[in-house]
Amino acid sequence: MTIQNKNKLDSSWTIFIETLSDEFTARTGFGVYAHISPTDVNQAYHQYQLSNAPMRLFVREYVRSYV
| For range 10-14, the mean pLDDT | 88
pTM over 0.85: no
Per the structure, how many domains does the chain have? 1
Contact by Cβ (8 Å): 20, 62: yes
Radius of gyration of the chain (CA): 12
| Amino acid letter for position 44 | A
Residues in the chain: 67
Domain encompassing residue 52: 3-66
In this predicted model, what pLDDT tens digit does every residue of 20-65 receive, in sequence order?
999 999 999 999 999 999 999 999 999 999 999 999 999 999 999 9
